[in-house]
Amino acid sequence: MGQPQKPIAAEQQILSLGRVLQSLREEDDVDVLIETTISYLKEQFDYRLIWIALYDRLNHILFGKGGITPDRDTSFLRQRVVLSPGDLLEQVVIEQHPLGIADLQTEIRAADWRKVAEKFHIQGTIILPIRHKDRCLGLLLLGSERWGYLLTGEAKARLMMVLGELGAVLYQNEMDLQYKQTKRTDEPLLELLENFRTLTNLNQKLEAAVQATHKFVSPSRTNVYWFEREGRYFWCRMSNQLVKIDRNSSNQQAAGITVQELSDFYYALAVNQIVSIGDARSSLESHFTAKLLQRLKVRSLLAAPIIWQKNLLGFLAVESNEPRIWTETDKNFVQGVAGLISLVAPAESMESTVKQIQEDAQLTSQVAQGIYSQNDLQETLHSCAKRVLARLAATRFLLLQYDPEQNNYQFIYQSQPYNRRPLTFTLHPLKELDGQLLQRSTQAVEIENLDEDLRFFNWRPFLLEAGVRSLLVCKCTHEHIPAALLVITHETHRSWTTLEKELLWVVSQQIGVILRQWQLHNRTTQQQKTSQAFEECLRILTQSQNSKIEVKKKHLERTALEQIASILGCPLAVLLSWSPGESWAKIIPGVIENSKFGIFSEASIPIQAEALIQWALATESYLILKVDDLPPETRKWLNVPDKGQILLMALRTNADYETTGVVLLADYQECRWSEQNLSATITLISQLAWWRREKQITQLLESTTEELRQLNWYKHRRSEEIQRITAHSLRQIHDLGIPANELTQMRYQLLLRQLDHTATSMSGMLKLEHWQLNISWETIPVASLMKRSLERIENLVKQQKLWIGVHGLGQQIEEQSPKNSSVAKGVPTSNTQSSMAIAGDIVKIELVIHELLVTACNRSQIGGRIDIWCRRLYVSKTVDANYSSANTGAEHRTSLELSITYNGALEPELLTELHNNTPKDVLAASNLDQPPGLHLLICQNFMQKLGGQLNFYQLPDNRVVSRLLLPLVGHDY
């Protein structure tokens, strides 16, 4: 702070600096060091006020060691100064950096020194720390009468060198003094260990430990507190004031501390952490520190945990009625004594511990026997729960199973005292953190106080309401979401030992194996049950196919329903059945095993109005309902308890086929149907649907075949009778002879030949086509075929006043009206007019063409027009599926395309059904079941057998086309 008033030579300054540094290095006495420093500062620096103080970091106090003042009164320079927050001196001590003050008289942060400055007229001041290795050892205060008096660089360097040397010497002296004053813990601990060898019981050893600790640390009192797990409290077992305290004593010290009062103190001890509470310092939070000190009525406390095999047995406490800062030596000694106590404590209960280990081994072995025993699962768990609850002194034994369908944990087994009710609620799935906690755990997860512990938070409301206050949780399996959990609960706050938690862990793993085994057993049993159901259904189908065994359809359906219900174990199974086109469904009962379930089997159910049927038809697969969803109309014929559930599934085989029934299964709502059982049930219901469809188709075909056989027999016998009468009439005509009139004779002979030809053709049909068609092979010119076909519909054409035109036979297109002659003008009358001829069964082809022409006439409007188009086609053999066997040697064949086109009404549905690629449901109502669709379908099938094709379609201008493809022959027919 400015230059000295009396400058000296540089050599003299360096020599003085060297001498003082040498003096500081060689001196050990602190007072001499301080005096040497003050003398140097007085000699080399022009300051009216110099003060040196040493810092006590434990008590945060400065001790004045002397200096100089203007009036030479240094008594106040040796006073003790307590540092307070915000003080300039504390700022230098903490920050360890020099601090300059322009005018000390105006500085409000140095109240005491402000008065001194006013007294001695001190203004410019600098405060410098005396430090070494980041430790503040004291302060130097230099005051000047000049304002803002600063040090130059050279003077500051010399001053810092002197203070640095002083700090190093003071640090070394402090270390030497601390080493001399440090208590040796090894000898008292060795002596205590030797005493333990001569003492017989634990109380004597605890007394010796308390006396040794009290002697070494010298607190107000020394106590050993023991931890009681059931009840979670500490009681004073030994004290230097009250020896051999009984846990049942009414003395306040014997009552001790409950964990609920001071949970932080307990958890710190449980993790083997020493608790130190001294003057303005604590290893606990202030809230718990105050409560603990108030509870023990002390002002300082040092507590070391007594732990054996990770179990907290108690703690050793040294207590002081005055604020005290505990040294590291005190902490180490107390911790060492607590460690010795933890080594000798188990010896007291060694015999009982060995016996307990033997009983635990017996318990685990008996649980393991359940893995290969033939006992029932409930019996095995009952024996296990009884032993575990007795061993752990717990209230409830709970085994939980995760249900992925319901997404919750359910109790599959629980054991509790006779005066406690079983738990009836379900538990939510684990939170992610709780699941990870169980995944990482290798022993039971312990919750000592459910009211305060946040683990398994979503289970807390249910468990607390059930009276649970502490619990152990073990996973029985190692899945990502533990499928099975073992939970042991107690109605009070308590803790368990590591041995008990490890025992429960072993038991839980064995129970997990047992559960897995029984799950596999149940799954195997269910699979066998399902397999038997499938075998029984296949047997039913076998019986239904065997014509030698008379099995009624309803009996088979009931048997199938019994097998379906057996898979899910349903007490009610019925079938709502109907046939295609019906409006009412019948009830076919299958299983009714419970009086609470029933049906009114005589009821007739409207298909369109019944909600169950419509819901099932609107669902592709199965549908599960609650009874509450049923309308009142359904309850009139269906009786199911209020807490029931219903499964519906329509007997559906294909989306294009008619549904002919609905299967209804009912059970109690608490019964859970697994996906595996549902899948098997759906398969059997689908199998029943296909079987019913097959039976219905078979019945339909059998009845149709029977009707056609009757019709064929009747028409055949009638044709025989007509042929017999015709033949008899011809014989009589022949017997009468030929009339004499020449014209009459000519007509008579013509009619006679026609009758002979008709009788001959009928004889051939009756002989060759009694029960099957006979395909003959003939040829005929197309023109002749068309002429004969038009002659057969001449009367119908006249009645309808139709116009018919034939095109493509080698002549120009001409039209025929009802006023024309009987032969169509568009048709050539001789063989030379056309070279086209068709080959095949001409009689049947002519009948097909006649049917098509009759349909066109009937469907056309009065005065309408019918066009017949003929043209030659070349069809590849490789793409013609109906190619005639007579032409198999050619690569191509020639066909006649005969198209009959007319303006008329033909239902679009009929055109769609006549298309060959359209799937047809045999059981569904169809336009092909009756004429004209039936006749057109017969013609279509006829043409396929005759080697031709017949198709129907509609043109964009709404004209209907019947396209007939016939095989042509060569020119030399």
pLDDT in tens, 402-445: 887 778 888 888 988 888 888 888 888 888 888 888 888 888 89
Q: For residue 930, what is the DSSP state?
A: S
Provide the pLDDT for residue 890. Answer: 46
Provide the pLDDT for residue 351. Answer: 56
Distance of alpha carbon 444 from alpha carbon 455, whole angstroms: 13
Provide the pLDDT for residue 904. Answer: 81
Tens-digit pLDDT profile for residues 597-606: 888 877 888 8
Mean pLDDT calculated for residue range 294-309: 87
Query: Which of 98, 83, 46, 96 minimizes the C-alpha distance to 68?
Result: 46
**pLDDT-derived band at 888, boundaries 50, 70, 90:** very low
Mean pLDDT calculated for residue range 205-214: 89
- Would you say residue 367 has pLDDT above 70? no
Tens-digit pLDDT profile for residues 688-716: 888 888 887 887 787 777 667 666 665 66
Provide the pLDDT for residue 899. Answer: 92
Asked if 270 and 263 touch (Cβ cutoff 8 Å), the reply is no
Q: Which residues pair with 962 in a beta bridge?
A: 900, 952
Provide the pLDDT for residue 882. Answer: 46
**Percentage of the chain exceeding pLDDT 90:** 5
Provide the pLDDT for residue 925. Answer: 72
Strands 572-577, 661-668: pairing kind: antiparallel
Provide the pLDDT for residue 547. Answer: 41
**pLDDT-derived band at 22, boundaries 50, 70, 90:** confident
731: part of which helix (H) or strand (E)? helix 675-736
Min mean pLDDT across 207-216, 465-474, 517-526, 635-644 is at 517-526
Tens-digit pLDDT profile for residues 347-366: 766 656 666 666 666 667 66
Provide the pLDDT for residue 940. Answer: 86
Min mean pLDDT across 137-141, 210-214, 283-287 is at 283-287
Provide the pLDDT for residue 816. Answer: 39
Burial class (CB in 10 A: 0-12, 13-18, 19+), 126: buried
Q: C-alpha angle with apex 564: 558 to 566, nearest 5 degrees?
A: 105
Provide the pLDDT for residue 538. Answer: 66
In b/e form, how buried is each residue of 436-460, taking b as 16+ CB within 10 angstroms? ebbeeeebbbbbbbbeeeebbeebb
Min mean pLDDT across 140-144, 265-269, 612-616, 734-738 is at 734-738
Mean pLDDT (the chain) is 79
Provide the pLDDT for residue 553. Answer: 64
Provide the pLDDT for residue 194. Answer: 83
Asked if 638 and 630 touch (Cβ cutoff 8 Å), the reply is yes
Provide the pLDDT for residue 748. Answer: 73
Distance of CA 926 to the CA centre of its chain: 49
**What crossing angle do the helices spanning 186-198 and 328-344 adopt, rounded to 10°?**
20
Provide the pLDDT for residue 815. Answer: 39
Mean pLDDT calculated for residue range 881-886: 42
Q: Give start and end residues of each alpha helix (H) in 3-99.
A: 10-26, 30-44, 88-95
Provide the pLDDT for residue 489. Answer: 92
Provide the pLDDT for residue 972. Answer: 40
Place of tokens 């946040």: 454
**pLDDT-derived band at 1, boundaries 50, 70, 90:** very low
Query: Which of 466, 888, 921 minimizes the C-alpha distance to 654?
Result: 921
Q: For residue 81, what is the DSSP state?
A: E
Distance of alpha carbon 807 from alpha carbon 332, whole angstroms: 125
- Would you say residue 38 has pLDDT above 50? yes
Strands 865-876, 803-807: pairing kind: parallel
DSSP 529-572: HHHHHHHHHHHHHHHHH-TTS---HHHHHHHHHHHHHHHHT-SE
- Backbone φ, ψ for residue 815 (5° rounding): -115, 150
pTM: 0.50
Dihedral sign for Cα 378, 384, 385, 387, please. positive
Tens-digit pLDDT profile for residues 915-963: 765 556 667 777 777 788 888 888 888 888 888 899 988 888 888 999 9
Place of tokens 């038997």: 532
Provide the pLDDT for residue 810. Answer: 59
Distance of alpha carbon 853 from alpha carbon 868, whole angstroms: 10
Provide the pLDDT for residue 889. Answer: 42
- Would you say residue 279 has pLDDT above 80? no
Provide the pLDDT for residue 10. Answer: 66
Tens-digit pLDDT profile for residues 72-107: 777 888 888 888 887 888 888 888 888 888 888 888
Asked if 41 and 49 touch (Cβ cutoff 8 Å), the reply is no
Most confident of the following: 218-222, 252-256, 891-895 = 218-222
Provide the pLDDT for residue 734. Answer: 72
Cα distances from 922 to residues 691, 699, 927, 928, in angstroms, run 14, 11, 12, 10
Provide the pLDDT for residue 315. Answer: 92
In b/e form, how buried is each residue of 800-832, taking b as 16+ CB within 10 angstroms? bebbbbbbbbeeeeeebeeeeeeebbbbbeeee
Provide the pLDDT for residue 869. Answer: 92
Mean pLDDT calculated for residue range 10-37: 80
**pLDDT-derived band at 304, boundaries 50, 70, 90:** very high
**pLDDT-derived band at 263, boundaries 50, 70, 90:** confident
Provide the pLDDT for residue 366. Answer: 64
Most confident of the following: 1-10, 108-117, 819-828 = 108-117
Provide the pLDDT for residue 348. Answer: 66
Min mean pLDDT across 65-79, 110-124, 797-811, 917-931 is at 917-931
Mean pLDDT calculated for residue range 108-112: 81
Provide the pLDDT for residue 676. Answer: 79
Mean pLDDT calculated for residue range 456-465: 89
Cis peptide before 4 (omega within 30 of 0): no
Provide the pLDDT for residue 102. Answer: 87
**pLDDT-derived band at 382, boundaries 50, 70, 90:** confident
Tens-digit pLDDT profile for residues 477-515: 877 778 889 998 998 888 888 888 888 888 888 888 888
Q: Residues near 69 by Cβ (< 8 Å), separated by ≥ 6?
A: 48, 49, 77, 120
**pLDDT-derived band at 551, boundaries 50, 70, 90:** very low
